[in-house]
Amino acid sequence: EAGVAQSPRYKIIEKRQSVAFWCNPISGHATLYWYQQILGQGPKLLIQFQNNGVVDDSQLPKDRFSAERLKGVDSTLKIQPAKLEDSAVYLCASSLGDQETQYFGPGTRLLVL
């Protein structure tokens, strides 16, 4: 069974630029999560989708971050404009349902200069 796929694996941008990350969850997984992992810290949830609906986006900085999962499968996370403090690894995870174990992708490493 294929795992959670993410792209790109690495991205370097300058502050105030925009960037987008893509995630393809495990086939059949209804729940999708985006986490931000700053160096030296544990991951923190940004947003959780159940199919194409948002369950929890309370920790998402909505002035610059947006995410969508239009067809309930793939998802994109966008940052516009990026700040230096957005440098982190962005992890996507998926689970069968909202009370099931989460499986993580390899992450996208973002460096904002």
Partner 1 sequence: GEDVEQSLFLSVREGDSSVINCTYTDSSSTYLYWYKQEPGAGLQLLTYIFSNMDMKQDQRLTVLLNKKDKHLSLRIADTQTGDSAIYFCAETNILTGGGNKLTFGTGTQLKVEL
Site string for partner 1, 34-73 (x = CB under 8 A): -x----xxxxxx--x------xx-----------------
- Cα 37 to Cα 107: distance, rounded to the nearest angstrom: 9
How far apart are CB 58 and partner 1 at their closest, in Å?
A: 9
- Tokens at 89, concatenated: 């690894």
How far apart are CB 16 and partner 1 at their closest, in Å?
A: 27
Q: State yes or no: residue 22 binds partner 1 (CB under 8 A).
A: no
Which of 79, 82, 105, 110 lies at the binding interface for partner 1 (CB under 8 A)? Answer: 105
Q: State yes or no: residue 91 binds partner 1 (CB under 8 A).
A: yes
Torsion sign, CA atoms 39, 43, 47, 51: positive
Q: State yes or no: residue 99 binds partner 1 (CB under 8 A).
A: yes
Q: Which is nearer to partner 1, 28 or 40 (CB)?
A: 40
Q: Given the structure tokens 């194409």, which residue do they identify?
A: 52
